[in-house]
């Protein structure tokens, strides 16, 4: 029963012989209005008529956000129409209720559903196809290579297919829409081509691929230097400083495993910190000392026992500051990374309070430092060394520059040393077991010292 003005009115009407007013009825529920994406208004929409003359009020409820205002047109019993001038939004549903109130106080409602469809997501588009990477024969890795940006934020996964043999693993760096880069640490082979597919998946499930083509020149049959691993440490994720004097550091890139360095050694106060954009940052307080090892996995790098008889372990870095009499070392070490333990040879960078110097160094039951190869009064911006094991024994090639294309191109070469004899030029030397690459910062009492290692590389002399 619809509400009536009062029971007294009803009783009086009945006693006086009058009739009870009929129930007020609203129009039939109108068809929902389904609007296209981008619609912000509803044009005049017919609702219909009530069974008697009414006064109309309109209210709007929105599925989310603020409801808009509805305007009603019509008079008497109707017909009535409703419109909304603005305020509708994509992906929302609105209930527009029109309440008719009769002269006797009865009310009757009718509701119009308004649906604004959500905008279809824009098609996800990948970067333009990048320029193919054509690498020289003997190259086993692909350095960080930009592939560009997607049209919106994506999660990117990489897969590699090879023209022959097992495909290597690609590492992706980047976030959001990009730009993204891809690299391959090892596993490329001469005479093969690779398709590195980067698949971007958007939050709505759309996918878009881009393919980076990589090819490695065929072997030429000559013997030369071949890079089997090239680690760009500037790409590593920033991690907490390691302050202890034992243990290892597992480097990651984009959260994925990248390279593990072992054999931390040291004394006093110091730290080793992976830092994105810089590399492995060593810092020591006054006389503190810190060092760490790269122990190559030759099998994983695909290097045979035969070609391991001539190889180079290489590093590139820079000095943040050296105290007077402090030293930084890039060394080959037999078991431990400390410069004053076991047998090791390599490049030494020192500061005497006036000039910075590099010289070849060895330690075996005491240290032997070769004469300075070069000095500079200003803090060097770069320093690199290639430490070779060869039929003659061991050889130190280094300079105050970034790593050259191969060990023979260093500014200072031919510093040869056995584990038992003084430095010679071309003298006969003996081979040892596979050494490791040791990186060390050795402080002094005057002030704190720091260095950064930004690149590690392994080269072998092989048929290319």
Percent of the chain, pLDDT > 90? Answer: 53
CA–CA distance, 144 with 131 (Å, rounded to integer): 14
CA distance 464 to 219: 5
pLDDT grade for 366, boundaries at 50, 70 and 90: low
Least confident of 59-73, 204-218, 325-339: 325-339
- Cα separations in angstroms, 18 against 10, 11, 13, 24, 54: 9, 10, 5, 18, 22
Residue 421 is predicted with a pLDDT of: 45
The angle formed by the CA atoms of residues 341, 415 and 357, to the nearest 5 degrees, is: 75
| 334 C-beta neighbours (distance < 10 Å), count | 17
Q: Which CATH number fits domain 133-219: 3.40.50.2300, 2.60.40.3780, 1.10.10.410, 3.30.160.20?
A: 2.60.40.3780
Same fold, 7-116 and 133-219: yes
Tell me, letter by letter, the H, E, C secondary structure of 401-453.
Answer: CCCCCCHHHCCEEEEEECCCCCCECCCCCCCCCCCEEEEEEECECCECEEEEE
In the numeric block, which tokens belong to residue 380?
A: 């060097």
Backbone angles phi, psi at 127, to 5 degrees: -65, 165
Query: CA-to-CA distance for 325 and 198, rounded, in angstroms?
Result: 50
Architecture of domain 230-463: Sandwich (2.60)
| Segment among 152-166, 171-185, 298-312, 348-362 with least mean pLDDT | 298-312
What is the enclosing helix (H) or strand (E) of 10?
Answer: helix 7-15
187: left (phi over 0), alpha (psi -120 to 50) or beta: left
Question: What are the pLDDT digits (tens) for 105-129?
Answer: 999 999 999 999 988 778 899 999 9
Torsions phi, psi for 409 (to 5 deg)? -100, 5
Question: Is the pLDDT reported for residue 169 higher than 90?
Answer: yes
CATH 2.60.40 fits 7-116, yes or no: yes
Give residue limits of the domains in the chain. 7-116, 133-219, 230-463
Integer Cα distance of 214 and 191 in angstroms: 11
Residue with tokens 């031919």: 414
Burial of 140-154, coded b for 16+ CB within 10 Å and e otherwise, reads: bbbbebbbbbbbbeb
Give, for 311, the enclosing helix (H) or strand (E): strand 311-321
Both tokens of 454, joined, read: 């930004």
As a whole number of angstroms, the distance between CA 332 and CA 388 comes to: 9
- Specify whether the CB–CB gap between 448 and 284 falls below 8 A: yes
- Under a CB-based contact definition with an 8 Å cutoff, are residues 344 and 435 in contact? yes
pLDDT-derived band at 8 (thresholds 50, 70, 90) equals very low
pLDDT in tens, 14-36: 444 457 778 999 999 999 999 99
Give the rounded percent of residues in the chain with a pLDDT score beyond 70: 84
């Amino acid at each position: 029963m619809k509400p009536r003005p009062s029971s007294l009115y009803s009783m009086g009407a009945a006693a006086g012989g009058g009739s009870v007013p009929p129930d007020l009825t609203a129009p039939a529920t109108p068809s929902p209005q389904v609007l296209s994406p981008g619609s912000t208004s509803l044009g005049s929409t017919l609702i219909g008529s009530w069974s008697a003359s009414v006064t109309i009020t309109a209210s709007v409820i929105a599925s989310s956000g603020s409801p808009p205002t509805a305007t009603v047109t019509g008079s008497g019993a109707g017909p009535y129409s409703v419109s909304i001038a603005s305020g509708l939004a994509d992906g929302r549903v609105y209930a527009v209720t029109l309440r008719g109130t009769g002269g006797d106080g009865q009310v009757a409602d009718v509701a119009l559903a308004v649906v604004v469809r959500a905008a279809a997501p824009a098609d996800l588009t990948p970067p333009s196809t990048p320029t193919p990477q054509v690498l020289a024969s003997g190259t086993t890795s692909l350095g960080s290579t930009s592939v560009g940006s997607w049209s919106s934020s994506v999660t990117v996964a990489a897969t590699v297919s090879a023209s022959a043999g097992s495909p290597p693993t690609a590492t992706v760096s980047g976030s959001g829409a990009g730009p993204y880069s891809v690299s391959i640490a090892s596993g490329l082979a001469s005479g093969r081509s690779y398709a590195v597919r980067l698949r971007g998946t958007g939050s709505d499930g759309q996918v878009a691929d881009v393919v980076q083509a990589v090819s490695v020149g065929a072997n030429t049959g000559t013997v030369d230097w071949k890079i089997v691993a090239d680690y760009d440490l500037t790409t590593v994720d920033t991690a907490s400083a390691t302050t202890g004097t034992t243990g290892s550091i597992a480097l990651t890139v984009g959260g994925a495993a990248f390279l593990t360095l072992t054999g931390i050694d040291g004394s006093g106060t110091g730290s080793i910190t992976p830092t994105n954009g810089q590399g492995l940052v060593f810092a020591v307080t006054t006389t503190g000392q810190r060092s760490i090892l790269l122990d190559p996995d030759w099998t994983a790098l695909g290097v045979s026992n035969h070609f391991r008889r001539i190889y180079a372990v290489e590093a590139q870095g820079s000095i943040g500051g050296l105290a007077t009499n402090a030293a930084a070392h890039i060394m080959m070490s037999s078991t431990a990374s400390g410069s004053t333990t076991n047998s090791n040879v390599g490049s030494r960078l020192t500061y005497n309070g006036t000039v910075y110097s590099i010289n070849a160094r060895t330690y075996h039951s005491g240290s032997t430092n070769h004469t300075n190869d070069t000095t500079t009064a200003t803090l060097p911006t770069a320093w690199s060394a290639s430490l070779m094991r060869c039929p003659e024994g061991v050889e130190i090639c280094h300079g105050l520059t970034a790593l050259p294309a191969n060990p023979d191109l260093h500014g200072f070469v031919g510093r040869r040393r056995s584990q038992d004899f003084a430095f010679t030029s071309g003298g006969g030397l003996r081979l040892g077991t596979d050494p490791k690459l040791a990186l060390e910062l050795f402080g002094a009492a005057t002030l704190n010292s720091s260095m950064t290692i930004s690149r590690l590389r392994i080269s072998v002399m092989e048929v290319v």
